[in-house]
Chain A
Amino acid sequence: AQSVTQPDIHITVSEGASLELRCNYSYGATPYLFWYVQSPGQGLQLLLKYFSGDTLVQGIKGFEAEFKRSQSSFNLRKPSVHWSDAAEYFCAVAPSSNTGKLIFGQGTTLQVKP
């Protein structure tokens, strides 16, 4: 069965430092991969998605992610974190091209230190 693993439940970084959130997936075919962010009291918002082409994808708010098939990973990165980036981040996979139903990872909570 398809699954998504986010190994880090909680990460703390200093403002201005770089960030990498890990995501590993288990899926046989070419996956459709997404990163969503959920800020306190806010709904889920799409940061970026990958389904084909260039394996480095750019998203909103200065985020990027790299698809590595050999490692079954889709890690999210940001060169310099801002205090407003504190939120919960979810990696997700759409297991089929025929349905948009998403399978989510457990989420990583990002805390930003001043």
Chain B
Amino acid sequence: GAGVSQSPSNKVTEKGKDVELRCDPISGHTALYWYRQSLGQGLEFLIYFQGNSAPDKSGLPSDRFSAERTGGSVSTLTIQRTQQEDSAVYLCASSSGLAGGTDTQYFGPGTRLTVL
């Protein structure tokens, strides 16, 4: 079946612009995660959605970052007023949501964001 998909695969933007990154999880997966992978910081957790529960936003680095998940499926990560330090690969993952901490997360290919 189809895996996690992300779009766009690459995004180049100018400092100060807003960007939206999209994630389509595996069908039926109730848990969805966003991570950021950058040279200086490695792989960092950003936000976690599980079903209808309030999202865990504890990893969002600033209030310029937000995410939503519509209809329990597609998710959009929005970065407002982008800064050069936002340049990174943004990874989305989904899991069944059935096993909490032991769930296997399936990762998408990522969106490479470059802020000029």
Could you tell me which residues of chain B, from 25 to 68, have a CB within 8 Å of some CB in chain A? Answer: 31, 33, 35, 42-45, 48, 50, 56, 58-59
How many Å from the CB of B44 to the closest CB on chain A? 8
Complex alpha-carbon distance, A107 and B37, angstroms? 11
Q: Which residues of B contact A111 (CB under 8 A)?
A: none
The count of chain B contact residues (Cβ–Cβ below 8 Å) is 30
The answer on a CB contact under 8 Å between B100 and A44 is no
Q: If the complex has contacts A99-B50, A101-B33, are A43 and B101 also in contact, measured as CB distance less than 8 A?
A: no
Q: Report the stretch among A15-23, A45-53, A67-75, A78-86 that lies at the interface.
A: A45-53
Could you tell me which residues of chain B, from 93 to 111, have a CB within 8 Å of some CB in chain A? Answer: 93, 95, 97, 99-110
Flag whether B91 is at the interface (Cβ < 8 A).
yes
Flag whether A103 is at the interface (Cβ < 8 A).
yes
Residue in contact with A51 in the complex, picked from B56, B59, B102, B109, CB distance below 8 Å:
B102
Q: Which residues of B contact A107 (CB under 8 A)?
A: 42-43
